[in-house]
Chains A and B, each alone.
Chain A
Amino acid sequence: MDVQGILVAGGTLGAVGAVAASVLAAASRAFRVDEDPRIGQVTEALPGANCGGCGYPGCSGYAAAVVAGKAAPDLCAPGGAGAVRRIGAILGIAIEEKVRMVAVVRCGGGHQACPTRFHYAGVRNCKAVTLLTEGGSKGCPDACEGLGDCVEACLFDAIHMGPDGLPIVDRERCTACGQCVKACPKGVMVLEPCTARVTVACHTRLAAREVRKVCSAGCISCRQCVKVCPYEALAMKGNLPVFDHSRCVSCGLCIDACKPGTMAARVTPDPAVREQALARQAERKAEEAARKAAASPAPAGDAS
């Protein structure tokens, strides 16, 4: 048996291995990069969904940015208030809690309300149809295509396609990561505070006259909702009413006032809030009448 050969082979391999090991050991000392230990802690405090909703590559990227002070600590939507609190504890800073947001569908033009202009037989996704056909297959250029790009984009299984070709958001599951907002080529998905129970389910750019032609659920700029709101939470901006969410109490009066049914309740309004709103409306009407009668400026009553 060639013992010497075995020894030489083993020795050579061992020697090369030992050299490599010592070089690596030396390198790990020499090239050590001191990483802030808080980065690891913050990464652990985050949910680890790597959804990218914060705009950073993955949770660890966001953690590094937060520790470096380059990012606000409340950008993690899936982590919610819990993650913000934990990050605050790690970094030793007080953080205001943010109102939870949810994704909202700003279109009511399903297959019934807003029919398609033609039969589309191409690639079955919203991006493709919008790109290929300039404005998509629906009568309204801003209408939901209903091919489910948002459903596919949702990382939390919170969006499902409804029977009428409009996506339905599961508000419990939605974490407001914003993936659907990015995925939708029509800008139908937006994030709104979850306290807002009523939404303007239309975001068309068309004028009222055009809207009437193409969609039975679209906003016709009739201003009824603005007039009926006792809290002045609605104002017209262009063709569409826009909510001031800090004023809206979700009484639902605008839903009843809206003829095309553009105003949509995301959650059924509370009857007590409604009673209160009706009372306030009556009060305001009386005030208005009194003001007209006296023709002198009466001081507006405080909100109750």
Chain B
Amino acid sequence: MDAVAYLQLVFWAMFVNNFVLAQFLGICPFLGVSRKVDSALGMAAAVIFVMVLASVITFLLYGAVLVPLSLQYLQTILFILVIAALVQFVEMAIRKFSPSLFQALGIYLPLITTNCAVLGASLLAIKKEFDFMEALVFSLGSALGFGMVLVLFAAIRERLALLRDTPRAFRGMPIALLTAGILSLAFLGFSGIVKV
């Protein structure tokens, strides 16, 4: 694959096939950590970091352990195990070596241990039969797409929270879900631009 193909893959993962708005993965952090742009940025950074790391590790594990033993059907449970352990490990390592990074990412890291978007990136890379570089680029693009949408959504919600004319029945979560739906419709405009 050349550089253009990788760029296409990133575009596809970010916009066309966005994890949150097209595949509906990672909805819980999308709704949970999107009240403030600051915390959305922290969460986005943590997801980018963990998603890339997790898909690299799981990709290697899949090729090195599961395929030779023809245990591909164990991928889901094994990936959950590995990702959970990996996030714990990363959290400890960051805490030791970079307290400032831990301050920034700290509270968000445990939240992603069982994030379906992270698992989804690992599983989709296998399902799409990507090679190593493609899996890496795909996970990076997906994570960037997730982070972008999270920050966009948080910015919208911050402005929504300023309004007091929202009908009582729509306040809080209902208006957030409607907003997410409209955002998803908007992203539908990207569909078919790139095929992977």
A residues with CB within 8 A of B: 8-9, 12-13, 16-17, 20-21, 23-24, 27-28, 30-33, 123-125, 127-128
* Contact call B89/A23, Cβ cutoff below 8 A: yes
A123 to chain B, nearest CB (A): 6
Shortest Cβ distance from A65 into chain B, in angstroms? 13
- CB nearest neighbor in A for B89: A27
**Interchain residue pairs with CB less than 8 A apart (13):** A13-B74, A13-B77, A16-B82, A20-B81, A20-B85, A23-B89, A27-B89, A28-B92, A31-B95, A31-B97, A33-B96, A123-B165, A124-B165
Contact (A124, B74) CB under 8 Å given A13-B81, A20-B82, A28-B92: no
In B80-118, the 8 Å CB interface with A consists of: 81-82, 85, 88-89, 92-93, 95-97
Q: State whether B162 touches A9 (Cβ < 8 A).
A: no
Residue contact B162 to A123, C-beta cutoff 8 Å: yes
**Whole-angstrom distance between the Cβ of A48 and the nearest chain B Cβ:** 16
CB nearest to B66 among chain A residues: A12
Residue of A8, A20, A27, A124 near B69 (CB, 8 A) is A8
Sample of 6 further A-B pairs with CB below 8 A, known A13-B74, A23-B89, A27-B89: A9-B74, A16-B82, A27-B92, A31-B92, A33-B95, A125-B162
Q: Are B65 and A27 in contact (CB under 8 A)?
A: no
Contacts of B65 in A (CB 8 A): 12, 16
Judged by a CB distance under 8 angstroms, whether B195 is at the interface is no
A76 to B93, CA, bound (A): 33
Interface contact B92-A9, CB-CB below 8 Å:
no
Residues of B within 8 A of A127 (CB): 162
Chain B residue numbers with a CB within 8 Å of A17 are 81
A192 to chain B, nearest CB (A): 29
Interface extent on B, as a size class?
20 to 34
* Complex: chain A residue closest to B93, CB-CB: A31
B45 lies within 8 A of chain A by Cβ: no
Across the interface, name the chain B residue whose C-beta is closest to A28.
B92
A23 contacts B92, C-beta separation under 8 Å: no
Identify which of residues 9-66 in chain B touch chain A, using a CB-to-CB cut-off of 8 Å.
61, 65-66
Q: B3 to chain A: which residues have CB within 8 Å?
A: none
Residue of B nearest to A29 (CB): B92
A13–B78 CB distance below 8 A: yes
Chain A: CB-nearest residue to B163 = A123
Counting CB contacts under 8 A, is B168 at the interface? no
Asked whether any CB of chain A lies closer than 8 Å to the CB of B164, the reply is yes
When chains A and B are docked, how far (Å) is the Cα of A128 from the Cα of B164? 11
Q: Which 6 A-B pairs have the closest CB atoms?
A: A20-B85, A31-B96, A31-B92, A124-B164, A27-B92, A27-B89
B71 within 8 A of partner (CB): yes
| Contact call B95/A8, Cβ cutoff below 8 A | no
A24 with B88: CB separation less than 8 A? yes
Contact A8 B71 (CB under 8 A): yes
Please state if B85 and A24 are interface contacts (CB–CB under 8 Å). yes
Contact B71 A12 (CB under 8 A): yes
Q: Which residues of A contact B89 (CB under 8 A)?
A: 23-24, 27
Chain A residues positioned under 8 Å from B81 (CB to CB): 13, 16-17, 20
A17 to B83, CA, bound (A): 11
A23-B85 in contact (CB<8A) = yes
Contact B165 A27 (CB under 8 A): no
| Listed residue (B61, B95, B164) with the most chain A CB atoms within 10 angstroms of its CB | B164
CB contacts (< 8 Å) of A24 on chain B: these are: 85, 88-89, 92
Residues of B near A9 (CB, < 8 A) are 71, 74
**CB pair B88 A16 closer than 8 Å:** no
A12 and B92: CB pair below 8 A?
A: no
Which residues of chain A come closer than 8 Å to B93, judged between CB atoms?
27, 31
For residue A149, give the distance in angstroms from its CB to the closest CB of chain B.
10
Query: Which residue from chain A places its CB closest to the CB of B96 in the assembled complex?
Result: A31
Chain A residues whose C-beta falls within 8 Å of the C-beta of B69 in the assembled complex: 8, 12
With a CB–CB cut-off of 8 A, which chain A residues contact B97?
A: 31
Report the separation of the CA atoms of residues A21 and B89 in the bound assembly, to the nearest whole angstrom.
Answer: 10
